[in-house]
Amino acid sequence: MAVYTHVSAEMMAQFLGDYDTGDLISFKGIAEGVENSNFLVETRGGSDGHRFILTLYEKRVDPGDLPFFMALLDHLAMRGCRVPRAIADRKGIQIRELAGRPACLIEFLEGISLSTPTPAQAEAAGAALADLHLAVADFGGSRPNSMGPAAWQDLASRCAGQWQQVDPALEHLVRAELAYLKANWPSDLPQSVIHADLFPDNVLMLGDRVSGLIDFYFSCTDARAYDLAITHSAWCFSTDGTKFEPALSAALLQGYRSRLTLTENERAALPILARGAALRFTLSRAYDWINTPADALVTRKDPMAFARRAAFYADPANALLFA
């Protein structure tokens, strides 16, 4: 949520000289996305649109993964999903370098990210997620889930002895959930490329219509129903995780099912997948919390907001909501 790398207007104008985008007329650093530097770029007179996001990839994104992400976005756009494609320069190259970092010039999409979605908006997001799953059926790429169950134990180990910095209750919850999930995690569910991070932040909307899905930098190959579970954990609670929102939950699931039928196995697995999703964000946030100075550029997100979701999903009484 900050601009980490300085890019001058002169550097940007020179960079754009390799594209059919016309002349630079505006250029602003924007506070958006994961830990990348993003700029809103406007041009005039080109043939390739006139507004773009320039992204410089900082530490969190492995440059080796960029070709996968860009191919995925091209595929999704070709299949009619509203996603931001990387623009190719005149030589056909999408992944360039600027200021010593991998850099992509990306389509700008209209739409606003909601903080408190309505049920109608949750339903549209569920449908858009299913459309994404349908659209990747014939996509050839794959990428392991670097934030999947195998990574959770490692993240937990790296927080060892420091849970108290976050909350006294966290160590026990993490240990119990890790043990349960390790013993019960399903392995026989339909897989595809998934978004894996479809928070309301990453869904652009115009009214009740989805105008864009963005921020695919966690996309990977995993169970489709796990993607639905991640999205459920991200959309169906108050931000701090203290309040479950049944109307949003029903609408999100309804939207997804309106496009894609869940198998019996998927439906049965959703409660445990949701526990896994909640633990995944609890752990990544706890790791960031412990390793980020309180006054750093990045706003730390409260791990307990997802620990509360994990506890909610672990309550057998709540498994019924996925039935």
Summarize as ranges the residues that interact with a second copy (CB under 8 A).
1-3, 8-10, 12-13, 23-32, 40, 42, 110-116, 206-207, 293, 295-297
Nearer to a second copy by Cβ, of 98 and 196: the residue is: 98
With b for 16 or more beta-carbon neighbours within 10 A and e for fewer, the 200-228 pattern comes to: bbbbbbeeeebbbbbbbbbbbbbbbbbbb
User: Residue 117 Cβ, how far from a second copy at the closest point, in Å?
Assistant: 9
Neighbours of 171 (CB within 10 A): 18
Distances (CA, A) of 146 to 41, 98, 123, 149, 194: 31, 26, 28, 9, 13
Tell me whether residue 41 or residue 86 sits nearer to a second copy (CB atom).
Answer: 41
Query: Cβ closer to a second copy: 200 or 271?
Result: 200
| Shortest Å, Cβ 265 to a second copy | 37
Task: Quickly count: other Cβ atoms within 10 Å of residue 100's Cβ.
Answer: 8
Give the nearest distance from C-beta 45 to a second copy in angstroms: 12
Between 3 and 283, CB nearer to a second copy: 3
Closest to a second copy by CB, 27 vs 226, is 27
CB 21 within 8 A of CB 87: yes
Task: Return the half-sphere exposure (C-beta side, CA atoms, 13 A cut-off) of residue 137.
Answer: 6
| Closest distance of CB 302 from a second copy, Å | 14
Q: How far is the CB of 59 from a second copy (least distance, A)?
A: 16
Helix (H, G, I), strand (E, B), or coil: what is residue 124? helix
